Amino acid sequence: MTPEDAQRLLQQRLAALPDKVTLEDLEAATGRAAQYIRHYWANTPERAFPPGSQRDDGTKEFDRDAVVTWCAKHGIGVQLHPDEVDDLRRDHVTTAQIAERLGLRDSSAVRYHARNHPPGTATPHPATDSEGRRYWPEVLAWHRHHAKAPRTKPGKKPAQGLTPRLKQVREAVQEARARGEELTPTALAEHLGIHPDSARRLLRELDRKTVT
């Protein structure tokens, strides 16, 4: 799939969504985690992502047409799950060709996997031949296998029935973790405009309402 194909497919997927879309809707359409979209698109001012609004239950939503325009302007396309790739060619491919067939925007992700899964490790990335190419069936099988692994470490999952306020707290916790930080009561208090003692109680309540 070429970048142009990925962009056209995303435009089609977005057009089929409701007028107001949630982060979960965008996750399904783009192939990127909701946490990624929130942190790197919606909460990064210089990206000028369309502003969102909150529903009564605390869920954030965005204007679909504004998101469509934003994605087109920034050349955003679908990031396919390897299981969606039906290219069964049996040839040797370059790093750039791997990225194109997997629907990646550039080859940096391929180089990342090769660097972090070298020969001799438990699950090495497919080796290159004398010309620096890899055998495509092996590459596709490797990415399909690794795409099934969790993106993050297993942990507690929020229970159903959270109040709108606790959903705000949960979202703030997730955003902090996406930055590699742990949300403190002081930081939550500043974020919500409440007293640190209230923030501490909310964090404890959220922890009680989660399950493993």
Q: Give the model confidence (pLDDT) of 99-111 as tens digits.
A: 888 877 668 888 8
30 lies in which domain range? Answer: 3-73
DSSP reduced 3-state for 172: helix
Q: Among 127, 147, 167, where does a domain finish?
A: 147
10 lies in the same domain as 65: yes
Nearest to 159 by CA among 195, 205, 201: 205
Q: How many angstroms separate the first and last alpha carbons of the chain?
A: 38
Domains of the chain: total: 3
Instruction: Specify the CATH number for the domain of residue 182.
Output: 1.10.10
With pLDDT > 70 as the criterion, what percentage of the chain qualifies?
A: 90
90 lies in the same domain as 141: yes
152 belongs to a structural domain: no
Nearest to 28 by CA among 84, 109, 75: 84
Contact 145, 151 (CB under 8 A): no
161 lies in the same domain as 142: no
Q: Among 147, 167, 193, where does a domain finish?
A: 147
> pTM of the prediction?
0.52
**pLDDT value of residue 201:** 83
102 lies in the same domain as 131: yes
**pLDDT value of residue 22:** 92
pLDDT digits (tens, 9 = 90+) for 50-87: 999 988 888 889 999 999 999 999 888 887 777 777 78
140 lies in the same domain as 162: no
